[in-house]
Amino acid sequence: MDQWLNACIAVERAVVTINAIGFQKKRSKKIAKIVIIILSIFIISTCIYDPFYRRLMDDAIDDDSRIWCITSYSSNLQMFNTFIHAFHFCAPFAINLISTLILILKTSRQQAKTRNKTKYIAIIIEQIQVHKHILIAPFVIVILGIPRLVMGFASKCMNSNNDATLYLIGYFVSFIPPMLTFIIFVMPSKFYKEQLGKVWANIKIKINRNFTSL
């Protein structure tokens, strides 16, 4: 879900750049609410089949009891499962990347109209430098999301005290992309850091006022 939301944010950035003054903030908020509902229904509907094809199996070897959670997909359902996991992994990345490229190209064209003496390629390179944080972010998210994709392709999961390190590492690594949202999107951006500074300054002013009023 987080990757799809990141993709939606990238699309909105591109739409804001394309529409410029014609962008309607109120309408965007309404559309965002509808998109979140549609995304939730879509993701749940494409993955709801999985719990019905999983079962627990006890495996006792040399007094070492293990519980395996295995799937029993048919060949067609296995192909569908592979496609769904790949789609939820690749589609948000593609949307995010394409939206970012549209933003860079559109901004470059707008800059080219007012800077006739500057070459178009030079302007594109300049805009890539300005927006490099949102261009690099999709690749970072994809790299960190690979363990989650691999786990999605796995046909079984293990609940055991032995040999579980790899599964635990892969499980926790899959949560890194949402945790790095601040570092990936906010810290590299000059604009976002300035806005963060203003918010933090307002918070400190309110805290000081509350203390002085006591």
Q: Where are the domains of the chain?
A: 2-179
- By DSSP bridging, strand 54-61 and strand 64-71 are antiparallel
Query: pTM for the complete prediction?
Result: 0.71
Res. 164: pLDDT tops 80: no
Give the pLDDT mean for 187-208. Answer: 82
Between CA 104 and CA 118 the distance in angstroms is 16
Helices first, then strands: H and E counts in the chain: 9, 3
Q: pLDDT digit string (tens) for 27-55?
A: 888 888 899 999 999 999 988 888 888 77
Give the pLDDT mean for 157-170. Answer: 59
Give the pLDDT mean for 137-164. Answer: 67
For residue 174, give the DSSP letter.
Answer: T
Between CA 88 and CA 62 the distance in angstroms is 41
Q: What is the DSSP string of 176-207?
A: HHHHTHIIIIITT-HHHHHHHHHHHHHHHHHH
pLDDT computed for residue 42 by the predictor: 92
pLDDT > 70: what percent of the chain?
Answer: 82
Lowest mean pLDDT among 28-37, 53-62, 125-134, 187-196: 53-62
pLDDT computed for residue 62 by the predictor: 57
